[in-house]
Structure 1
């Protein structure tokens, strides 16, 4: 069991397939949300994922400045249903924040969080910076993390 972080061109075809399959399983099927998951941003992202028993079970992506927002952003945060509530998302988010600060030299991170998770993101240091809005018919809120 281990965390990995890779740029798109470092991912194996098996890893790409597992990541896309898992994102569709959670965001399209489970959340009943028809949207275009393959948005062209993956090729310019860092992919942070947790593997257990040879399978990817938790994932998020880090987008560099200028791709979604003027700040670096984190998105597509998920864990497979059967592995939830074990602290993997908190661990992954903390690793992503550390990677962004230490390896990318950035101290501001913007996210578009599902509204029901704003308390979780606040516990990581994110602050609400927008009103609630609908994204793919799901209430979201923009949140900003700043270490300075």
Structure 2
């Protein structure tokens, strides 16, 4: 898949059309619920919050990678639901999307709950482990944070 044909898009829930939101949810469910065999409440109410930003990488038809940025009550940005379609894995798409997300987050503190096998990936984007590993839905996770960057 040539990288030049893909583009990164960002939108609030109010700016998403029905088909796009459907396709983003399908990618999330395909990866987290079906592939990882983790039945959990994927629709948690946070997608529709006015401050939530949905970011995805598309080849024009369907999303190849996705993440969302939430606003935590303490002002930190929370990155979550990072998913890459199987056909797009191994080509740096998650890294492109994470870079775009951190550009959007800017200098705010940022947190995430990494699947533990991805700690190294997030560390390359400036995140550090911030707590002990725990198991959620049968998958080891590690809390991570990115400190405020002085400009």
Please, what TM-score do these two structures have when normalized by structure 2? 0.90
Q: Which residue of 2 aligns with 1:58?
A: 65
CA offsets 1:75-102 (integer angstroms, 9 cap, x no match): 000110011011010011011001111x
CA-CA distance at 1:107 after TM superposition: 2.4
Say whether 1:26 aligns with 2:31: yes
**Structure 2 regions of 5+ residues with no counterpart?**
1-5
When the two chains are superposed, the root-mean-square deviation of aligned CA atoms in Å is: 1.2
- How far apart are residue 54 of structure 1 and its match? 1.5
1:120 aligned residue:
121
Task: Give the match for residue 90 of structure 2.
Answer: 85
Indicate the SS of the match to 1:43.
coil
* 2:46 equivalent in structure 1: 41
Partner Cα distance (1:109, 1:33) in 2? 26
| CA distance in structure 2 between the partners assigned to 1:121 and 1:41 by the alignment | 22
Q: Give aligned pairs, total.
A: 142
For 2:140 and 2:101, the matched residues in 1 are separated by 24
Structure 1 residue 65 displacement after superposition:
2.4
Q: CA deviation at 1:61?
A: 0.2
Match of 1:133 in 2: 134
Would the aligned equivalents of 2:31 and 2:83 in 1 still touch at CA under 8 Å? yes
SS at match of 1:119: helix
Partners of 2:134 and 2:141 within 8 A in 1: yes
Query: Which residue is 1:10 aligned to?
Result: 15
CA distance, structure 2, for counterparts of residue 71 and residue 43 of structure 1: 18
